[in-house]
Amino acid sequence: MQTVTVNGQEISAAAIAAELQHHPARDVADAWRQAATALVIRHLLLDECGRQGIADEDEEAAIQTLLAREIAMPEADEATCRRYWTANRARFRTPDVYEAAHILFPAARDEEVARTAAKAAAEETLRELAVDARRFDALARTRSACSSAANGGRLGQLTRGNLVPEIETFVFALEDGQICPVPVMTRYGAHVLRLDRRAAGQELPFEAVSDRIARQLSAQSWQRAVSQYLNILAGRSCVEGIDIGGAATPLVQ
């Protein structure tokens, strides 16, 4: 990795290595770049604190004082928030709610023999349900390895993200009351799945989300302003070994 310096002062490899833990990334090189960028930004901000005579034993407090002094943040007015809501109404709605039931035949992902047996048991159960779907509750009580068996396999009222993705992929493709025609395989095993009911989310009125929109727009403006300010600081300084153009990190969010 290249040596990184800020105004002639080297940021040590040890410091970057210590910072790596805070920057999970797809590979070591990307994590190193993120860690080095964060330390360069911190160095630039603390140098500017010193230049402006902002002194505080708590470096974070000093940085926040600097940013509050240098970055003016206009509040998003109602008209701006309403325009955003109008253009993005699909984002502001209650979540879809669904009720489903399943019969679980357990098998860990790495147990090939057990998974084959679990899938076969699920397929046999599906054949029985094809003859009489009303037996679902009874079969769940006697065959399912899930605690929901005591309630006929019913999983309760759920929203997207409550269950593993494999199950939800099928849930949202089924009609109310429909049993999935194939076993659903997950890391837990094989599932016989039934969708009991799905209710689409409802659009929320502007009044219910105006505060959230204002906070969101303010956060976006803050990020842009911080990024611009960091570019100004970098332009005044000599940073070598890394390009931080347009950077903004959690350090200053």
User: What string of pLDDT tens digits covers the 253 residues of the chain?
Assistant: 678 988 888 999 899 889 988 888 888 888 888 889 999 999 999 999 999 999 888 999 999 999 999 988 778 899 999 999 999 998 999 998 999 999 999 999 999 999 999 999 999 999 999 999 999 999 999 999 999 999 999 999 999 889 999 999 999 899 999 999 999 999 999 999 999 999 988 999 999 999 999 999 998 998 889 888 998 898 888 888 888 765 545 445 4
* pLDDT of amino acid 104: 98
- As a three-state string, the secondary structure of 205-241 is CHHHHHHHHHHHHHHHHHHHHHHHHHHHHHHHCCEEC
Residues 6+ apart with CB under 8 A from 96: 159, 160, 172, 198, 199, 200, 201
Q: Helix (H, G, I), strand (E, B), or coil: what is residue 4? A: strand
The domain spans of the chain are 4-86+207-252, 97-199
Please name the helix (run of DSSP H) or strand (run of DSSP E) that holds residue 9, with its range, or none: strand 9-11
Q: Helix (H, G, I), strand (E, B), or coil: what is residue 36? A: helix
* pLDDT of amino acid 138: 97
CATH architecture of 97-199: Roll (3.10)
Counting every residue written for the chain, the total comes to 253
Token representation of residue 124: 């046999």
Kindly report the backbone phi and psi dihedral angles of residue 212, in degrees, each rounded to the nearest multiple of 5, phi listed first: -65, -40
Q: Helix (H, G, I), strand (E, B), or coil: what is residue 27? A: coil
pTM of the model: 0.58
